[in-house]
Amino acid sequence: MIAAALRRALIGLVCIAALPVARAQFSYDVPYVPTPLVVVEEMLRLAEVTRDDFVIDLGSGDGRVVIAAVSKFGARGIGVDLDPERILESDYNASVAGVSDRVAFHRQDLFKFEISRASVITMYLLPSVNIKLRPRLLSELKPGTRIVSHDFDMEDWKPDARSTVRKNVFLWIVPAKVEGRWHADLALPNGARSYDIEIKQKFQEIDGLVRYDKKVAGLWNASLRGDRVQFTIVDDGGALDTNLYFDGRVSDDVIEGVILRGIGADRQKISWRATRVAGVAAQ
């Protein structure tokens, strides 16, 4: 106990001693403004952080967001900040919270730091920085990764959820890339049928159409959340029209899942699989 207390005290003294020189040597894209603790709590709640998550806080300041994710939700994580003063302070705060074994802080440019291992990204940056980061977030993070931002959005990438506790909190779920043409051969109760499904995509917003039997029909209620895609097609191959409710998971160039046909006592489950048609974009 005495050794631990002495170690924390020494870290604090090192922080204080190092600050004047360190701060004078660097300039930063984002000023240091601590996120209120009630907003930290709401960010982590909205992102539904669990012990299975790996949280990366971009522009981590004094470490409070990722330390809370680790200490209150059992996650593991990393904080990234360019300011050496904040890194020293974060290390000290993690030591005081007793979570130094599950969190680390790196002094590095957040535009260059490896983010692909994250299941949750947290940030309190400026709007211009959010937009500059956006291409990396969309291309390097796995579909389903949650991104939560304090106060600032990402322009035309609409949030999947939004909350307000003193400040605005925005949540995005990284969408899978589903734009293009997909082909599916289905064994339906009224006979086999081939579908060519064309999907247009803007972030998580999707729309499209389906071609079959020389017919063209729309996709109804199309939605994309992470790697989960859902839509409805009207099956008009029998005596009565019946809805086909598609629910699938996207993995690169394959979508696999289950179709629910009909409702109630008449409901049937049908497995489905679609493959992306190479070199064919949605028309």
Residue 282, in any domain of the structure: no
Same domain for 111 and 8:
yes
Quick check: 189 and 268 in contact, CB under 8 A?
A: yes
Same domain for 187 and 64:
no
Same domain for 169 and 229:
no
State how far the Cα of 123 lies from the Cα of 234, in Å rounded to an integer: 42
State how far the Cα of 97 lies from the Cα of 84, in Å rounded to an integer: 20
Give per-residue pLDDT as tens, 32-61.
889 999 999 999 999 999 999 999 999 999
Provide the pLDDT for residue 136: 97
> Which CATH number fits the domain that encloses residue 121?
3.40.50.150
Is 160 in a helix, a strand, or coil? coil
Residue 283, in any domain of the structure: no
Give the residue from 153, 173, 193 where a domain finishes: 173
Residue 264 DSSP symbol: G
Give the residue from 142, 173, 204 where a domain finishes: 173
Quick check: 153 and 129 in contact, CB under 8 A?
A: no
Q: Are strands 76-81 and 103-107 parallel, antiparallel or unpaired?
A: parallel
State how far the Cα of 68 lies from the Cα of 145, in Å rounded to an integer: 19
Same domain for 47 and 109:
yes
Same domain for 196 and 243:
yes
Same domain for 198 and 160:
no
Same domain for 211 and 155:
no
C-alpha distance from residue 265 to each of 188, 197, 257 (Å) = 17, 29, 21
| Domain span including residue 203 | 180-276
Residue 176: phi and psi, rounded to 5, are -70, 160
> Which CATH number fits the domain that encloses residue 245?
2.40.128.120
Same domain for 77 and 108:
yes
Same domain for 17 and 157:
yes
Residue 281, in any domain of the structure: no
The tally of domains found in the chain comes to 2
Q: CB 225: neighbour CB atoms within 10 A? A: 14
182-188: Cβ within 8 A, 24+ apart: 182/255, 182/274, 182/275, 182/276, 182/277, 183/274, 183/275, 183/277, 184/272, 184/273, 184/274, 184/275, 186/259, 186/270, 186/272, 187/270, 188/235, 188/237, 188/244, 188/261, 188/270
In sequence order, which residues have a C-beta less than 8 Å from that of residue 182 and are 6 or more positions away?
196, 197, 198, 199, 255, 274, 275, 276, 277
Provide the pLDDT for residue 238: 62
AA letter at 78: I
Residue 220, in any domain of the structure: yes
Residue 147, in any domain of the structure: yes
Provide the pLDDT for residue 222: 98
Classify burial at 260, counting beta carbons within 10 Å of its beta carbon; exposed 0-12, middle 13-18, buried 19 or more: middle
Same domain for 94 and 56:
yes
Give per-residue pLDDT as tens, 200-222.
999 999 999 999 988 999 999 99
State how far the Cα of 235 lies from the Cα of 137, in Å rounded to an integer: 38
- What is the average pLDDT value for the chain, to the nearest integer? 89
Please report the sign of the dihedral spanned by the C-alpha atoms of residue 31, residue 32, residue 38, residue 42. Answer: positive
Global confidence as pTM: 0.86
pLDDT band (50, 70, 90) for residue 29: low
Query: Is pLDDT larger for residue 236 or for residue 143?
Result: 143
Same domain for 269 and 140:
no
Q: Return the closest-CA partner of residue 202 out of 148, 156, 246.
A: 156
Same domain for 211 and 96:
no
Quick check: 75 and 51 in contact, CB under 8 A?
A: yes
Give the residue from 158, 173, 188 where a domain finishes: 173
